[in-house]
Structure 1
Amino acid sequence: MIVTNGRTGQQAAKIRNAGLDRLVDGWVVSEAAGHKKPAPEIFHAAAAVAGLPLGDAWVIGDSPHADIAGAAACGLPSVWISAGRLWTAPGHRPTHVAHDAAGALNRFTAKKWPATP
């Protein structure tokens, strides 16, 4: 499930153009949900669309504010995609760090997490 901020049409086009629509069961866009990340409501909406409990979710994202703070607000584990950046956000930290999305997914499926920053 993808949770993204933005306009519904624009974000859906990005998801399709990137080929992500073939890899996920769906997506929730802030414009349609009426809430933006990091608000817990958008993550609850995604769980409802997926038909799964939110407590079973985890968040992968590159934004300390929208993604990692959103995960923290929901009590969910998170993976920050650092792209080589150092973590500088105050108040919360990701559960795990990966260089890129592929690395995050590979580590998740292999259950080989790097140390928390």
Structure 2
Amino acid sequence: MPLLLLNLDNTLLDRVGPFRAWGTDFLATIGAPLDDIEWLLSVDADGLTDRWDVADAIRDRYRLRISSIDLVEALHDGVVEHTRLDPLVACALRIAGDAGWVPVVVSNGAIRQQDAKIRRTGLDRYVADWVISEEAGVSKPNPRIFALAAERVRMRLNGAWIIGDSPEADIGGAAAMGLPSVWLHRGRSWMESRFAPTRTSEGLIPAIATVLAA
């Protein structure tokens, strides 16, 4: 029974769509131009910008009196509210489980938001467990977080595959441990010269099919 280590945002669950939906609602609430959603997306940088920095940028641009902590919480809660589990992803995870694989989520991010996404979408019913960097005290690509994921389900990393969309965090982590990986390209070209994914896929469902075939 090998491990299937899976990234959360933009792998198991779409993040771009929910963030855009929250941002559009937020801009309408404060009376800002809806075209500013492109600015907001650029500041967010696909989730790579620290949430506090995003909040500060929003407060400065629109001269808001709302506190940064309230804005961060609104962002967290808004993204969670708009996040949904694709039934086809749930089906793919069930097929992987029936084939003997043990799916475990390994995600960087805040425990409050990531845990809420997993539970509220029902994703928790299709994975064996999950490890979030804020709770674990270590982030991808550090091999320790993947080892913690294996420990969480009392398994070894031998034979595991890693699936994710981040070249550095997911594929870099796999390379550091000598594990095979599938990179979800999301329309991007591979630019890293130090390492490369074992396979490349356009989405999670064909990525899981690739692992099962391998």
TM-score for the superposition, normalised by structure 2: 0.50
1:93 and 2:208 are equivalent in the alignment: no
Q: Which has the larger radius of gyration?
A: 2
Structure 1 unaligned regions, length at least 5: 113-117
Aligned to 1:115: none
The structure with the largest helix share of the pair is: 2
Of structures 1 and 2, the one scoring higher in RCO (CA 8 A, sep 6+) is 2
Correspondence for 2:168 among 48, 55, 65: 65
Other-structure match for 1:108: 211
Alignment of 1:36-47 (within 5 A): 36-47=139-150
C-alpha distance in structure 2 between counterparts of 1:57 and 1:20, whole Å: 20
Moved over 4 A (4+): none
The Cα RMSD (Å) is 1.2
Aligned length: 111
Matched, 1:29 2:132: yes
Aligned to 1:77: 180
- Alignment TM-score, normalising by the size of structure 1: 0.89
Give the unaligned 5+ runs of structure 2: 1-103
Describe the superposition over 1:14-54 as per-residue Cα deviations: whole angstroms up to 9, x where unpaired: 12234321110010000111100000100110010011101
Residue equivalent to 1:20: 123
Pair 1:51-2:148 in alignment:
no
Q: What SS class does the counterpart of residue 158 from structure 2 fall into?
A: helix
- Tell me the percent identity: 49
